[in-house]
Amino acid sequence: MKRTKKERQSELTNKIDENPFVTDDELARFFGVSVQTIRLDRMELSIPELRERIKHVAEQTFEDEVRSLPIDEVIGEIIDVELDDHAISILDVQKEHVFQRNNIARGHHLFAQANSLAVALIDDDLALTAKASIEFCKPVHSGDRVVSKARAVKNDGRRTIVEVKSSVGKEVVFEGEFEMYRSSAEKEED
């Protein structure tokens, strides 16, 4: 069904309101138009690009929830967090994240995304990584979107074990187990 520009733009606004993380590519396929048409529609409607929408949602939603570090120090954009339970972040790999000669992401960016997500997950004023066991499973390239999912699997009061899996699409690209030190546990023992 062919929509008028006005109908498409109205429906576009609704779709982005429902899911602020929808990409221009997904919208273009849904509406049967070019990505450029979607971008022009967004500009006319003053709807920011995906990266800005993600940042805005993260700042609104998680600014008051994440205690262990400022939200702007998390590598990637947090899209979900339940303190001391689970968290999810997205990192869009850009040119500055990759080696120039082979277009493969530098490992410290993937580690930083996973580690900062593990820190953000901790419901404490201070959380530090005491130990980490990591594995890089597959190369990540410029243009890839890395989705990291963290889950607290053990908490003994002083330390919390957080497992993190990072994927591009359905492919796991990074796995890590982070032993997190919690500052409040030390205060409770005194």
Dump pLDDT digits (tens) for 122-150: 888 888 999 999 999 999 999 999 999 99
Looking at residue 186, what is its pLDDT? Answer: 47
Dump pLDDT digits (tens) for 75-102: 888 878 888 999 899 999 999 999 999 9
Task: Indicate if the pLDDT at residue 166 is higher than 90.
Answer: yes
Looking at residue 57, what is its pLDDT? Answer: 61
**CB 7: neighbour CB atoms within 10 A?**
12
CA torsion through residues 173, 72, 61, 154, sign: positive
pLDDT above 70: percentage of residues in the chain: 85
Looking at residue 77, what is its pLDDT? Answer: 83
Q: Residue 73 corresponds to which tokens in the numbers above?
A: 């120090």
> Which position has the token pair 């998390």?
74
Q: Residue 162 corresponds to which tokens in the numbers above?
A: 């957080």
Element housing 82 (H / E) = strand 77-82
Rounded distance, CA 98 to CA 144, Å?
11
Q: Residue 167 corresponds to which tokens in the numbers above?
A: 């994927």
Rounded distance, CA 19 to CA 149, Å?
19
pLDDT above 90: percentage of residues in the chain: 52
Q: Which stretch of 14-18, 28-32, 39-43, 117-121 has the lowest confidence by average pLDDT? A: 14-18
Domains and CATH numbers, the chain: 5-47 (1.10.10.10), 67-189 (3.10.129.10)
